[in-house]
């Protein structure tokens, strides 16, 4: 498919069927879907980690959600959705086998080719695990493309850690160097680290090769400030620090201006930005 054909498909909404649903935490649910038309599934399965899709619920509205699956496994798409308002409430009423419309993929996503042959430090907090899971699974499936991959993930409590089983399995399989932490462990049975996510840098700092490393983060805005501090201490260049940002979006295609800030359209130029971009456009965070 050439780029023009792909763009035409991106602008249209296509019917998708729910294949699986699972609660990831008390307020976040996993959705596994596939486009009803296998042709569309094949074509739109060529997304990049870090891109997002827009869901349409008739009579309720539209909202963007990060793609959490990896393009290396093209027969379905996965999402993690937190219930916060009318669209997400309507999505929570759907059952396996129900259909709704999806358009996309949108946004710039991560430049996976640039990251090839580098070490990666992937840092996520809370809901930030949803978009970064796409990158993690991609790195697992294309392990030979990357050198050391360090994954640092934090959540408030073990119950709040999204994709907890997947990440524990990653820790056990040792394909990626995985470090998991929680701020608090109310039940007292958490087998990994306790403390904020930035404390996990102690476990990798002496092995980080700042000449050959990309760092990628996604999480609550407060986390960014402290993670950036740790990365700058390790002398990771600003243009090699990536973060994925959420801003209010409507069209996802650069038409409505909802997401524009200082001439930057976060739906087109983002949601992935470098720390270099953020420094020049402070309102982005």
Residue 284 interacting with ligand FES (CB under 6 A): no
Residue 56 interacting with ligand FES (CB under 6 A): no
> Stretches 33-41, 50-58, 69-77, 251-259: which one binds ligand FES (CB under 6 A)?
251-259
Residue 264 interacting with ligand FES (CB under 6 A): no
Least distance to ligand FES, CB of residue 261, Å: 10
Selected binder of ligand FES within 252, 270, 272, 275 (CB under 6 A): 252
Residue 250 interacting with ligand FES (CB under 6 A): yes
Query: Which of ligand FAD, ligand FES, none lies near 255, with the C-beta cut-off 5 to 8 A by kind?
Result: ligand FES
- Whether omega before 254 lies within 30 degrees of 0, making that bond cis, reads no
> Stretches 39-47, 61-69, 133-141, 222-230: which one binds ligand FAD (CB under 6 A)?
61-69
Selected binder of ligand FES within 205, 212, 257, 279 (CB under 6 A): 257
Residue 272 interacting with ligand FES (CB under 6 A): no
Least distance to ligand FES, CB of residue 285, Å: 17
Strands 193-194 and 177-182: parallel
Q: Is 143 exposed, middle or buried (0-12, 13-18, 19+ CB in 10 A)?
A: exposed
> Stretches 13-21, 23-31, 88-96, 250-258: which one binds ligand FES (CB under 6 A)?
250-258
Residue 251 interacting with ligand FES (CB under 6 A): yes
Residue 247 interacting with ligand FAD (CB under 6 A): yes
> Stretches 50-58, 70-78, 191-199, 253-261: which one binds ligand FES (CB under 6 A)?
253-261
């Amino acid at each position: 498919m050439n780029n023009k054909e792909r763009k035409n498909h991106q602008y249209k909404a296509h019917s998708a069927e729910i294949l699986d649903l699972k609660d990831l935490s008390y307020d976040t649910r996993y959705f596994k879907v596939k486009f009803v038309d296998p042709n569309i599934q094949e074509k739109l399965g060529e997304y990049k980690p870090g891109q997002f899709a827009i869901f349409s619920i008739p009579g309720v509205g539209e909202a963007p959600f990060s793609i959490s699956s990896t393009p290396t496994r093209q027969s379905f798409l996965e999402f993690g959705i937190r219930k916060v308002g009318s669209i997400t409430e309507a999505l929570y009423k759907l059952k396996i086998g129900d259909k709704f419309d999806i358009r996309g993929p949108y946004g710039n996503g991560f430049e996976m080719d640039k990251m090839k042959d580098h070490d990666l430090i992937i840092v996520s907090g809370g809901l930030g695990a949803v978009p970064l899971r796409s990158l993690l699974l991609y790195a697992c499936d294309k392990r030979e493309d990357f050198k050391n991959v360090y994954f640092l993930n934090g959540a408030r409590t073990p119950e709040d850690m999204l994709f907890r089983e997947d990440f524990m399995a990653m820790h056990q399989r040792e394909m990626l160097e995985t470090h998991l932490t929680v701020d608090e462990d109310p039940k007292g049975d958490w087998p990994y680290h306790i403390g904020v996510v930035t404390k996990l840098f102690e476990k990798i700092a002496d092995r980080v090769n700042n000449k050959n490393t990309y760092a990628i983060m996604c999480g609550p805005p407060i986390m960014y400030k402290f993670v950036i501090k740790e990365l700058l201490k390790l002398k990771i260049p600003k243009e090699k620090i990536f973060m994925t940002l959420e801003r209010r979006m409507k069209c996802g295609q650069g038409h409505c201006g909802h997401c524009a800030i200082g001439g930057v359209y976060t739906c087109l130029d983002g949601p992935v930005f470098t720390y270099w971009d953020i420094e020049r456009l402070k309102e982005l965070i």
